[in-house]
Structure 1
Amino acid sequence: MACDDMDNLDMYISYHDSDKELMLYLFDRLEKNDMKVWARDKENCEGSKGTAIINAKIFLVIMSPASMGQGGCSDEVSLAYISDKPIFPVATKEYDEMKTSLNFSMKLILSKINWVFFTSEKDYKTTFPSVLSSVTETIANIEEGTHVGTADSINDELEKPEEEITKASFRIFSKWRRNTRKYQRKTEKDFWDSQFGSKKSEVSWIEFRKTFLAVYDKFLKKKFTEDRISWLVNVAYGDIFRLNHQITKKMYENFAGKTTDSDPDSFYYKLLEYARGKIAMRGVFNMDSTVRLDAVQSLGCFKNATVVASLIDLLNDKDPNMRAIAAIAIGKTGVKNQRIVGRMLKMLQDDDRLVREAACISLGHMQSEIAVPYLVSVWRKEIISHVRNAAEVALGLINSDQSREALRVVQVLSEEMKDLKDSD
């Protein structure tokens, strides 16, 4: 089926030029099975690849040393992950040959998902039917609304992806006990309750960090190098606990869930999931990313904390165009809090007029009552008409009694100013 538009796009195929032969084979076979497929440089596949990734139901990546190397497909994989696409990795080499090509972020994201191996032309014919069956089933589940997102459907063993996990229902710590009594893992209790006691309402960050590293030492070291473990812990401290020196049980439960009814390892798993999202966002918004602009323009429809946090970071980008696009995207998420609104109000004073215009529209989409007097001030004092018009549009979007009254005054003044000009 032709993909001259992106409506109802079934699949995006990510590949390196050196793997074009396999891409063409997969593209042709999938199209013959009535699937609408998009691939870069393929005839009739118009539009940007970032938009195609976000619109597609499924993301298939052809994994080779070239596609996983520098200048490869990692930014496309990252965008697929944060937009919660089912990811189908198709590897051209055996795992032991591929693992040296995987950087940290790709190993974190892709080694946890079942891979398919096309290592010879013989595999093309024998393996494709299973790929088609999995893809068809996944699309059917998506259309029925029963598909479970990538982040929720994968296990956390980080073993060789081709190895079947025969006891996946067992928690990862069910067969492990530490010898030291203080940090013994008790799978029947949540991390907080088992280590600090259910009645303890807060602990110092130093104690929390020490205990977390002790309890999860074996599995963290199995997955990560020391510097990556340090990075993961800093993510917990900075992003989750907001650099608080004292960690309260309420902070902990806000992230991990109630200790009385959560998975005993909920905090650990959710921290890894958050870290995957964060590192994927870093890949998408890296200055060298080929999908950066498309991602910022489109990701307003995703409201998870990692996306919003990354968009907020982009508000400080040196490129005013990126600041403007990030502001619009944040407005489209519908997420608003004191921090976000305050940051957007400051952007009304940005040196770049496009950024000021974007900040006005974003505050309008947020329907921020607090912003009304600031938007009126912009309309009164701004010398550039496009920014004044954006402030007026924003007042209309807020649609409250206060904003409607402000908009009425603005429109009356506009008419009077127009009459004065005409009389001259």
Structure 2
Amino acid sequence: MGSSASRKQGKNRSKGNVSQGSEVNVATSDREHEQEEERRQEEVVTPVEHTLEDKHKEESMFEEKELDMSESEVKGDVVASQTSMEPKDIMISYSHQDKDKMRLLKDALEAEGITVWVDEVGLQAGVEFLNKIGQAIVDAKLFLSILSCKSVTSKYCRDELALAYVSSKPIFPCTIESRDKVTKGMDFGMRLQLAPLRWFSFTNDKPFEAVFKELTKEIKNKIIELNDGQEKKDEPKKTSKPQLKRLRSKLNIHHRQLSVEGKYKDFWMKFYPKLDFVTWKQFVEDLKSEYATEIEQWYKEGDLDWLIQVLHREMDEDEDEIIHKDHYEEFCTVSGERQEFWQRVQEQALESYTMREVFSMNSSVRIDAIQNLAKFNSSSVIESLLDLCVDVDENVRAVAAISLARTGVRDNDHVINTIMKLLKDQDRLVRESGCLALGHIKAKKAIPKLVDMWRNDAISNVREAAAIALEQIGGDEAQKAMHITKVLSEEIKALSNKH
């Protein structure tokens, strides 16, 4: 995390609404002022209104250009070794109110030969440096989260943890306050992320040296494991380029879910042993009954409603309010392995929550995530982005379309068809994002629909986006369609002028 003033400038990069309040000069502000600003910023997070009205801004997203992140740059002295964006072994996320504990851990890790990236110098580095936090998370081998009552309620710390999960990083939770106390301040998504993991407690219960020795051993073992895996990954393979299918895989391969004690019998076999399908209404009633204890432990009323929506989207594939057994079996199977139903429910909730946290409009790591998608792109990430294309929030749908284009996936009917459905969206920003995404992946299949959008959409920005997409796709079909439309438009205009 950087100072709140710098964070605020980073979040106010859109030409939409800008949060009100006095700007703090990071280079000259004292620590007390920074901490007070951080407390106020973390209490109220102002969403930034996303707009696609400037087509050149959107084109730049697809041309790998740097987005304009602020109106002015704050200058400061930066230690070269700390600001280096060379990938490190581990990235530390923390609240600046816990900076003393962070420095203690950082120094101890470096003394063990473990390279560390931390944004401590971001207090003087300005917006350009702070925008590298997301890249540092994606590039690092591991992610360490310093947990305190302040950090777990920080929007920035939650976003950083979410990006670490999405980019499939091994996560090391290090709490500096009691686990019970820290857990009470977490939202349900953060609890899902961290509950199955081993926590390292740097409280007064154990000497620092003893806990740190255990932590260092785990970190070094994981680094060796990752290095070995990378060597095998880099070996040339004689395989054809795979086509993505509806094959579920884990979003974070290093993460595991808690098992459900005493739930040995399969959910479907317990309630519907002789049935091949059941109504969605009945399925939900039985789910709430069977897992009442687990639901009460993890989900508040609003969270449960959201969970039910997620499961409905994932399991009612035919959208007929019927759950088929084969869809249920597909849902429970991940990377070819059959999992217990509630375990899959928790995993799906976590993945859906985390993806939304990273790619929502008020995410502090959204731009970094989109720009670095190629580094952690996987079939599970693409499937999760496809799910976000039907999110209830129109801003999330728009970002999902842009993000899918940035994954580099082409010639995939599932991806193209999903983005093409967005061209019918009631929200014009979603339609505009869909056009630009189809152009970026050069979806020839979408040419007739894009021509229709160019000719008939009521919003000029959407028409312009469709024209850009057609030019990007290119080819005889697109050029012919555009030429015919232009000729007809000119003839109609000429006839109108005669009268």
TM range (shorter): 0.7 to 0.9
Q: Secondary structure at the match of 1:2?
A: helix
Give, as a single letter, the amino acid of the residue that structure 2 aligns with 1:216: Y
Gaps of 5+ in 2: 1-79, 234-248, 487-499
- Corresponding residue number in structure 2 for 1:57: 141
1:41 alignment counterpart: 120
Alignment of 1:240 with 2:318, yes or no, is no
Residues 251/14 of structure 1: CA separation in 2 closer, same or farther (3 Å cut): same
* 1:372-411 alignment, distance < 5 Å: 372-374=447-449, 390-391=468-469, 394-396=472-474, 403=475, 406=478
* CA distance in structure 2 between the partners assigned to 1:229 and 1:377 by the alignment: 41
Q: For residue 294 of structure 1, report the CA deviation from its aligned partner.
A: 2.1
The aligned residue for residue 309 of structure 1 is 387
Q: Is the 8 A contact 2:167 2:252 kept in 1?
A: no
- Does the 8 Å CA contact 1:360/1:394 hold for their aligned counterparts? no
Letter in 1 for 2:119: R
AA matched with 2:260: I
Residue 28 of structure 1 corresponds to which residue in structure 2?
107
Q: Give yes or no for the alignment of 1:98 onto 2:98.
A: no
Mapped partners of 2:278, 2:413: distance in 1:
30
Q: Higher relative contact order by CA 8 Å / sep ≥ 6: 1 or 2?
A: 2
1:218 Cα offset (Å): 3.3
- Residue 270 (structure 1) aligned with residue 344 (structure 2): yes
Structure 2 partner of 1:109 = 193
- The verdict on how the C-alpha distance between 1:370 and 1:286 changes in structure 2, with shifts beyond 3 A counting, is closer
Say whether the 8 Å CA contact 1:68–1:102 is kept in structure 2. yes
1:140 partner SS: helix
The letter for the 1-side match of 2:311 is A
- Sort the Cα spacing of 1:69 and 1:351 in 2 relative to 1 into closer, same or farther, 3 A: closer
1:172 is matched with which residue: 252, 256, 260?
Answer: 260
Q: Within 2, Cα distance between the matches of 1:325 and 1:223? A: 28
Deviations 1:363-421 (A, max 9, x none): 1444423213455678899999985884355325xxxxxx456459989x99xxxxxxx
Q: Is the 8 A contact 2:423 2:431 kept in 1?
A: no
Aligned to 2:333: 257
2:209 alignment partner, one of 125, 133, 150: 125
Post-superposition offset of 1:67: 0.6
CA distance in 1, matches of 2:102, 2:452: 55
Structure 1 residues 14 and 55: alpha-carbon distance in aligned structure 2, compared to 1, 3 A threshold: same
Contact map agreement 1:312 1:330 (CA 8 A) in 2: no
Any gaps of 5 or more consecutive residues in structure 1? 158-170, 177-184, 397-402, 415-424
TM, length-normalised to structure 1: 0.72
Q: CA deviation at 1:22?
A: 1.7
Q: Distance in 1 between matches of 2:367 and 2:444?
A: 30
TM-score, normalised relative to structure 2: 0.62
Matched residue count: 372
8 Å contact kept, 2:93–2:146: yes
Letter in 2 for 1:237: H
Residues 436 and 469, structure 2, Cα contact 8 Å, conserved in 1: yes
CA-atom RMSD, angstroms?
A: 4.0
Work out which of the residue numbers 97, 112, 118 in structure 2 matches 1:18: 97
**1:72 Cα shift?**
5.3
8 Å CA contact retained: 2:355, 2:385: yes
Between the aligned partners of 2:116 and 2:293, the Cα distance in structure 1 is 43
